[in-house]
Structures are given as C-alpha cells and as structure tokens.
Structure 1
C-alpha cells in the first residue's frame, strides 16, 4: 500500500508499506478521506510537542470496512469514521471516563502512525458507522469534536458572551458549537478572510482584527465587563497570555490549543476576577455524537469548511502549498 511519510520536519515522501495485519480485536479500514489539521501542519513544521519522527500523519479519517472481527456489527464495505484516540482503558483517568486524557493515550498520526495510507488497522471500539453522513464530510468529524468537547467542558450557556481567539478550523468548530448552545460569539483573528468566513458561514456575532485596537474594541463591546468565557485556539503562546486581559469577573478561560512554551499571567488580576482556567484535550465519544447530531440538523456548513481537496500522491506538494496563509485553506482533505 501507499503511505505518506513525514521523515523529518519539512520532508514528506510517498512510500510503499505492507498492508497492516489486523489483530483479533481490530478492524482493517480502507481509508478514503483524510482531513489535514493544524496538528499535521505543526508536525510538518517541526513544532508538535508530542511526536517523534518519522511518522505517517493523519487522524481525521473516514473509510470503508475491509475486514472486521467475527461477530462484529461492522461488515465489509460499511462506511465508517475513526475516533483516533487509543486509550488504555486501565489507568486512573480512563477509570473516571476521561479516555481523552488517558495517561497512556496514543493518538493516531501523532504517537503512532496514522491514516495517510491506503489501509489502517484500528481497535473495533474506535470505528463507528457514518450513518447518513457522506464519507468526505465524515473526515471532518474529529476536528469538529475537538470544538464540541471544548464547548462542553467550558459549560457554555444560553446568552453567555464568548470570545474565540484564533479562527482556524478548531476555533471555527468552537464557534459552531458555542452558537448551537445559544451563546453570543465574538471571534478575533489576525486574518480578515477568516473573520469574514466566520461571520458569513458560522453566524459569529462580531469579528475583531487582532492588534493594538482590539482591547479598546472589546471594552466597547462588553461595556468594560470582559467576556464570560474566552476560548484560545491560536496555538500561539503570546496570544494565550494576552487573552487573560479579556476575562470578565467570574469568567472561564479555555485553552483549546497547546504550545511548547510555559504560559505566564498576572496572578492578582486572575484572582481578582475569580477566573477559572481550563485545558481541553481531544474529545470523548459523546462529543463525536454531538457532531453527528449537529451535522444531521444542518448546523455544520461542511461544504463551506471543505475548501481544498487533493490526492494522497500529491500530498508532498499540497502540504507545502496549503501551509501558506495566502492559499486560504480552512480544511484540506486528501482523497485515497
């Protein structure tokens, strides 16, 4: 089979590998679509904190069943998507139901080779039917689940004022599910095109261009009170630190993005607000189910989100092209 291998930062190669042998509890999936996300671009650039090279990337996956265990509800040809978080099921976190934060978690395409390949063997519990969701759309379920999990973790309520900083795909997912809960959402980014997209397609209520004038504009929008919840999806340490300034009293700060650096903030200001700092990692099965529900309800503009498509064999050239801001990529999907 063919696989797209990241040998080291900036070096991708299409290689031949044997088709993986399915273990007794695994499903062999014929991969059909792979979404490319910020994590993949970070791997390509060399700044993903949880990875060693070489690595076959790919964790936003849909495909069809090639082989399934005897007695499985899945059968050959079934359209499926993959939950890419392989939890041990035995650690203390798993015992509390926090499989997304398993102490020995392996994420496909990060801790072990992922789905930028013709075939992938995955534990049966991680392979789910797509139902009436198109396979190409199903390749977007995972990144949307990241946003759905963050919104659930932030316990966002009807009418709350939310600021999403960073309007990449994860930030956009946060906007979608915050709006689904009835929040009033402001989005801030350095790119006008991303702000325009968020307003036009995701029903964000306000768009702010990040920069020196943003703080005064936030004070105007909130009457000087700040936001009930600030959600960072920038992947930028300086932006995360700056986001503490936008917190209202009794607010929450949710970090969807992860960075290599230490993060610092003013403790007196944080305590004065009695603010809550939350990390959000991966997603849980109920978050995937929420994505499916919102897709079926027509609340996820999948056609607008899927801006770029290409083939796996063109992957090395496409990564170089799609990583440029001027390419205008929101979600790129490789077809196999």
Structure 2
C-alpha cells in the first residue's frame, strides 16, 4: 500500500492508503518527489472542473526518481535516475494523433484530471512518458510541464525576434508564454492584476507591465505599439473579457493564441476577425519538443527559476496545500515536496 492524497469532494482533501500498481512491460515505477499544483487542481478542489469525477488523486506536474523498470525498458531508465513526467495520453488513432499533434489527442486522459494523478508516494507510468534529467535541481523538475504549455503556445503563435507580444495573465502558464517569447527575441508587455506577478514578469524579461485593475489595457498597448497593436496576443486568464480583448489588442495581420479557456460563453464582434485577417488559434498541452526546450532553458538560467516557486509544502502536510492556495491566490506556484 502507498499513501496518496485525494480530493474527496468540494473543498475536501484527505490522505488515503491505495494499492501500489504493478509494473508491467514498458513501464517504470517512479518515486514521486515533487508535485506542482495547477489551476486545474484548484478548480477540481473548488468543484469547478467539469472534466473531473471525484474522488480524484490530483497532480500532473511531477518530478521523481526511478525505483524500478519493467520488461523491455531501456537500461537508461535505471533506479536512481531523476525524471520529468509527461502527463498526457495519446490514442494514436484520432485525427490529431494522425497529424502528429498528439498533445491535442481527442481521447487524452491527463494525470490528475481524467485519471488519478501523481500526488502519491509513487506512480507507475510508461517509460515513453518519462524524460530523464539528472541536471536540474529536483524542485525544478516540477516546473517543466506547466512552462511547456506556455512554450507550446508560443510555438503555435509563431513568435519571432522583433515581434511585439501581449500576455494577458501572468500565472504559471502566462509566465511560460512570457519566458518563451523573450527567449525568441520578442518584446513582451505583460498584463495582470497582481503586483507580485507583474514584478515577476519584469524579472523574467517583460519590457512593460500593465495593472489590469486600474489601467486601460487597450490604450496602454496601443500607446506602446504606436497604435499598431501587437503582433501576437496571448490569453492565459480564461475570462470572456480577456478573450475579446485579445482581438482588440492584435494588429492588422496579427495572431491571437488562446491558452486559457473561458467557462462562460464569449460574445464577439466578429468583423475584426476579417478586417484584421487574424490568425486565431487554440493551444493545448505540450509536445515532447516543448518539454525539451523548457529543460534546456531551465538548465541555462539555473537558480533564477527558484523565483517561480512561491511556496513549498511537505508531502506530510499536503492536505493543507490546496486550501492554502485557495486563500493565497497571488501565489504563482505551490510545490509539494516529498523527502525520503
């Protein structure tokens, strides 16, 4: 038996003893050391995630250490090696998979969402879903997946050197967008309500920041761009107002990338889709190349990535983690750490 944290019901988390899964061919048993909490986990805790059936073990931002490997697994996956988890599944048969866009698999089951996740002492996964890395500090392994979502969105938006980019929302996904866009040589203006998150955006390379609660975002962006608008506008908030605002902020011939998703209907004046001839894209999850790009970037910036972690909570106190985040919404990333 192993210890795991379950979201039992709305606003209720409890530890339980669950059966340890056997290790089959092609699989690896991983000792979970770090789990980052995602907005989807918080939404599940608050009863706002329609993709989840409770009870559910949350957690898909996972770093760990290999315990054992099953038959047919490469000797590279040796006990003691550190790993990053790719938490998505892909069927190989749907249209997205056939196009090579496995991140958008129609039948994807993300850990902690459509299936139990990694907030447990250990987890068994296919070797192909593990990225070996003994270079990054252990805590940073749990940063790779959320940053990868932002890096994938930047790839979708075809961000290039010299582009002017607006990022609406400086949570962890928005920070991933910002970091990836800056790394490509873009100039980024970051928009958020939180002064702490705006300060962090400046720390990671934003040229300008806007307080969405007290400033006219559209006016500031237009002033910044000489009334052109931005080449790419990224939505990482998930509100109808920011969905439509991206259309206003994008320049003629510009691009809009939706990374967040609105839980309420969104009403558009669609003439600007045509007048501006906008490329409007959704972005979902991440690909292996996005994960590897994040790993490379984190290895380059080193200890600077520590600033992305707001709070570390011991695994023994994990029952307090989601309630803590619920009352400290300015926290960028809460990480649960299991010492062994």
Instruction: Determine whether 1:261 maps to 2:273.
Output: no
Residue 72 of structure 1: CA displacement?
Answer: 2.2
Q: Which moved more, 1:298-307 or 1:85-94?
A: 298-307
Matched residue, 1:47: 48
Matched residue, 2:326: 323
Alpha-carbon deviations, 1:43-84, whole Å to 9, x = none? 111222322211100000011111212342311221111100
Residue 331 of structure 1: CA displacement?
Answer: 1.1
Matched residue, 1:332: 334
Matched residue, 2:172: 169
Q: Which moved more, 1:159-168 or 1:240-249?
A: 240-249
Q: Distance in 2 between matches of 1:36 and 1:301?
A: 20
Matched residue, 1:142: 145
Q: Distance in 2 between matches of 1:267 and 1:92?
A: 28
Alpha-carbon deviations, 1:203-238, whole Å to 9, x = none? 100000114522222221111111111001112223
List gaps (5 residues or longer) in structure 2. none
Q: Distance in 2 between matches of 1:325 and 1:205?
A: 27
Give the SS at the match of 1:170: helix
Match of 2:304 among 296, 301, 306: 301
Q: Distance in 2 between matches of 1:269 and 1:154?
A: 18
Match of 1:242 among 237, 241, 245: 245
List gaps (5 residues or longer) in structure 1. none
Asked whether the 8 Å contact 1:294–1:300 carries over to 2, the reply is no
Residue 300 of structure 1: CA displacement?
Answer: 8.1
Instruction: Determine whether 1:18 maps to 2:14.
Output: no
**Aligned residues between the structures:** 334
Matched residue, 1:133: 136
Residue 37 of structure 1: CA displacement?
Answer: 1.5
Give the SS at the match of 1:229: strand
Q: Distance in 2 between matches of 1:3 and 1:57?
A: 9
Asked whether the 8 Å contact 2:63–2:85 carries over to 1, the reply is yes
Residues 50-89 of structure 1: pairs in structure 2 closer than 5 A: 50-73=51-74, 74-89=77-92
Q: Distance in 1 between matches of 2:272 and 2:245?
A: 13
Q: Distance in 1 between matches of 2:91 and 2:23?
A: 18
Instruction: Determine whether 1:219 maps to 2:194.
Output: no
Asked whether the 8 Å contact 2:61–2:143 carries over to 1, the reply is yes
Q: Distance in 2 between matches of 1:138 and 1:123?
A: 18
User: How does the TM-score come out when normalised to structure 2?
Assistant: 0.94
Asked whether the 8 Å contact 1:176–1:299 carries over to 2, the reply is no
Give the SS at the match of 1:87: coil
Residue 190 of structure 1: CA displacement?
Answer: 1.2
Residue 39 of structure 1: CA displacement?
Answer: 1.4
